[in-house]
Chain A
């Protein structure tokens, strides 16, 4: 899932300076799971912002809401009435949600309250770790379920670099070498021969952003 963390409150306060009434909109999907942009976080941020502005002698009125999924226009539509009442929207969804809101309420500023960081899993309570970079052509079947794009510091696709030492990546900081993990895992599942399969270089367009934002188009689903 998408992982994000809240921007420092002072940064948010800075871009909210010109506004006196805003809508603070969270998202109950990914960012709620990583405790950055769900209903509770809407409450905490709202409270902090109101206190800071009161202290500065510039009160701010904050309407609060939390969409089921802010990256879906149908759910964002539900914010319409509130959005019409305010000068700006502060969204604490991921960058996708912020852009959906900005597109749908095109006549008012929409600000991001989070830094969207990566797609990852929960490592332990309160710790999240990157696992996928949406490269567009998954190779996990070759690499034993360990992603070399997201987990190798050099994104090497065909075996480790010379810096892999005792299972650790040469960048240090106790980061495991992804290729050691791939090797160990392939060995465990009896597929070590996969190490010899060549993973080709990534293709233009579908596997990179060189041709602009990537799109998925499904004729069978279109109206």
Chain B
């Protein structure tokens, strides 16, 4: 069963970095898992703890945040806030017995299509090993 398990990943992508990088993946002719869902947000700072947790609750095996590099956020601290919210949720996930690896963040720039693909694939493999979300 685990063999055929294809982890569902929801990636929240900042419009100023992650989303552009995701767009580049196609141009680089790299492939991404079909079970990846991309949510475009104006800034990583717009991603609320509620959105991240509800993605996990509603069936994602893993959630990724793609934000600008630190000190390079166009809204100054959106990426830092996203990171802090992830930390807050890691605390809750720990208490309810949900593996912290199911929620992760990657800082990148617009031209990092390769890094985007690599991060998604790495998370895909990690989640495959971890198995389906225990709350699905």
Contacts and interface: CB of A to CB of B under 8 A. Distances in A.
Contact of B95 (A9, A40, A47): A9
Give the interface SS of chain A, mostly helix, strand, loop or mixed. Answer: helix
Interface in B81-136: 92, 95-98, 134-135
A108 B69 CA distance: 51
A10 B96 CA distance: 7
B57 interface: yes
A52 interface: yes
Given A9-B92, A10-B96, A51 B48 contact: no
Interface in B32-88: 48-50, 53-54, 56-57
Interface in A103-130: none
B50 A51 contact: no
Contacts of B54: 43, 47
Contact of A55 (B48, B49, B96): B96
A180 B68 CA distance: 45
Sorting the interface of chain A by its residue count into under 10, 10 to 19, 20 to 34 or 35 or more gives 10 to 19
Interface string A1-24: 000000011100100000000000
Contacts of A50: 57, 135
A44 B53 contact: yes
Contacts of A48: 53, 92, 96
A8 B93 CA distance: 11
A101 to B, nearest CB: 23
A60 to B, nearest CB: 12
Contact of B48 (A8, A40, A54): A40
Interface residues of B, number: 14
Contacts of B134: 54-55
A43 B92 CA distance: 13
Given A9-B92, A55-B135, A47 B98 contact: no
Contact of A9 (B57, B96, B135): B96
A43 B135 CA distance: 17
Contacts of A43: 50, 54
B86 to A, nearest CB: 13
Contacts of B56: 47, 51
Contacts of A10: 95-96
A40 B88 CA distance: 14
B57 A51 contact: yes
Nearest to B92: A48
Given A50-B57, A51-B57, A40 B50 contact: yes
A105 to B, nearest CB: 27
10 contacts: A9-B92, A10-B95, A40-B50, A44-B50, A44-B92, A47-B56, A48-B92, A49-B96, A50-B57, A54-B134
Those 7 A-B pairs whose CB atoms lie nearest each other, nearest first? A52-B96, A51-B135, A55-B134, A47-B53, A9-B95, A47-B57, A54-B135
